[in-house]
């Protein structure tokens, strides 16, 4: 029952006019291009303007508060892919997570960063409905990384 209520609340917030995007945010729109100013960990960055962006559909091992296996490698790969670069942000359904971070798919040039992290074995596919537009791709890439013993799956 709690899960159903949570899903309904998320859907309600996502489809209410004026509620999906925070007023004054320059990076809330779909297709926005913005520079990454800091890589926080393997699946979270800070962009110009101070917004934190959490990658949708993937989860990397933590580096803080507790260091997890392959966390530093995932963070380093994320830094290599997006550090200091201009990225394009794509929204799914939900605008922000419970910590206030923007939830986005991230692209740099022609690289789909969320998918690339999974393909390289730096991240696991991690579905959080209703944001599941690319989840099938992420799950396929995780299976391929596991079979090839890449990254986390060595």
Q: What tokens does 31 get?
A: 């297709």
Residue of 21, 62, 68, 144 with catalytic role: 62
**46, HSE (Cβ side, Cα atoms, 13 Å):** 6
Q: 3-class DSSP state for residue 36? A: strand
**1, HSE (Cβ side, Cα atoms, 13 Å):** 0
Annotation says 62 is catalytic: yes
| Alpha-carbon distance values, 125 to 72, 82, 110, 143 (Å) | 18, 19, 20, 9
Residue of 51, 54, 116, 142 with catalytic role: 54
Annotation says 38 is catalytic: no
Residue of 90, 96, 101, 116 with catalytic role: 101
Annotation says 101 is catalytic: yes
In 3D space, the residue among 92, 113, 122, 117 whose CA is nearest the CA of residue 104 turns out to be 92
CA distance 36 to 58: 18
Residues classed as catalytic: 54, 62, 101
């Amino acid at each position: 029952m709690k899960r159903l209520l949570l899903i309904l609340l998320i859907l309600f917030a996502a489809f209410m006019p004026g509620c999906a995007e925070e007023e004054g945010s320059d990076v809330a729109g779909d297709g926005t291009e913005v520079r990454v100013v800091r890589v926080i960990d393997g699946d979270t960055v800070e962009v110009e303007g101070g917004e934190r962006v959490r990658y949708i559909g993937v989860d990397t091992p933590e580096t803080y508060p507790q260091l997890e296996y392959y966390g530093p490698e995932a963070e380093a790969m994320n830094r290599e892919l997006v550090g200091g670069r201009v990225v394009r942000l794509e929204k799914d359904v939900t605008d922000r997570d419970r910590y206030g971070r923007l939830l986005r798919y991230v692209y740099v040039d022609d690289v789909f960063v969320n998918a690339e992290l999974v393909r390289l074995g730096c991240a696991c596919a991690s579905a959080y409905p209703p944001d599941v537009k690319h989840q099938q791709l992420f799950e396929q890439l995780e299976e391929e990384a596991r079979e090839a013993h890449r990254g986390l799956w060595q």
